[in-house]
Amino acid sequence: MRHTRDQLAARLRFRDLQLIEQVERTGSLSRAAEALFVTQPALSKALKEIEGMLGFEVFHRGPRGLQKTPQGELVIHGASLLLRELQHVRAEAEAAGADAGVAAVLRLGTSAFIAVSLLPPIIARLTGKVPPVAVRLREDNVPRLFESLHAGRLDALVTLYDSNLMASTIGRDVRFENILEEAYVVIAPAGHRLARARAVSWEDLAHFPWVLTVKPSLARVFVDDSFRRHGVMPPMPLCEVDGPVTAARLVGAGVGLSSVPESTAREVLRSKAVSLVKLQSRQPTAMLGLVYRIAAADHPRIALLRHAVNDVTSRLAKRSSSSSRYS
């Protein structure tokens, strides 16, 4: 029998969600029962009651044991998100205290170079509110950030995003709000002969040592695709790093060439340790965006973050429109 949303909300408990998650995690009723400190018959009965409330099987019982059904896979994912959200709400309540010390606790993911360029003024606006928003920042590469967002370990991301590479993600269970465009540029150590050339081909670039971020980072995908698009095999990097900020500093130390976001290049170009390489054909432009789960679109945490992001990026857009870009 199928139940309406209100009936389901009235009957389904967080304990039921824990049961579903534990059965999926262990892959066995007996091991799940042991972990939950209940008997196997009691757990089996509870699982049947849950499936009765939902109106479909979460797990299929077959010769190979329990297998999650397609509908069950969605329920399991939702159960994990709800349980993590419950833990997060408790953390927010503890942080707020009796005197409402914070308005919210935002778990935010970003790339390392954004954490040192765009993000500081955004976080300053969040923490400067009354009451402030507490920020728990995680820096990682784009694929791992998306994994954490899907799993409910992060509330939102401020990160570069290539819609062609991640088309399967858009419109599924996350929403992407375009903020700014970010171009990628090639940099070389100061005084490098390529930096003096008027237009460098990708074939020329392949003959020199490179500092690249580790796969599957977005910067690495961009530079590898750029070489292949021009009929050139991507070079094996002389040095691999986790982020473009480190790559840029190693270029400044003379290790090799690199491809980094323009905002990262701007910082090291000021130091005169690196030079911009003028290319015959520029690399693709990535979108810098705010990314969050669709189910959390109306949450106050996301609204507060969106307001801070829009405030900062609108000022940056005005500033950049009045100044010339790198040629």
The 10s digit of each residue's pLDDT in 127-151 is 998 889 999 999 988 878 888 998 8
Would the pLDDT of 1 be above 50?
no
Q: Considering the chain, tell me which residue range(s) the CATH 1.10.10.10 domain(s) occupy.
A: 5-80
Would the pLDDT of 69 be above 70?
yes
Residue with the bigger pLDDT between 87 and 39: it is 39
Q: Considering the chain, tell me which residue range(s) the CATH 3.40.190.10 domain(s) occupy.
A: 85-180+287-321, 182-284
pTM, two decimals, is 0.72
Question: What's the pLDDT at 327?
Answer: 40
CATH code for residues 182-284: 3.40.190.10
Average pLDDT value over all residues in the chain: 84
CATH code for residues 5-80: 1.10.10.10
Question: What's the pLDDT at 314?
Answer: 81
pLDDT per position as a tens digit, 259-298: 998 888 988 898 899 999 999 988 878 888 899 998 888 8
Question: What's the pLDDT at 302?
Answer: 93
Question: What's the pLDDT at 62?
Answer: 74
Would the pLDDT of 123 be above 80?
yes
Q: Give the C-alpha separation, 261 to 238, whole Å.
A: 20
Question: What's the pLDDT at 321?
Answer: 59
CATH code for residues 85-180+287-321: 3.40.190.10
Would the pLDDT of 322 be above 70?
no
Average pLDDT over residues 211-237: 90
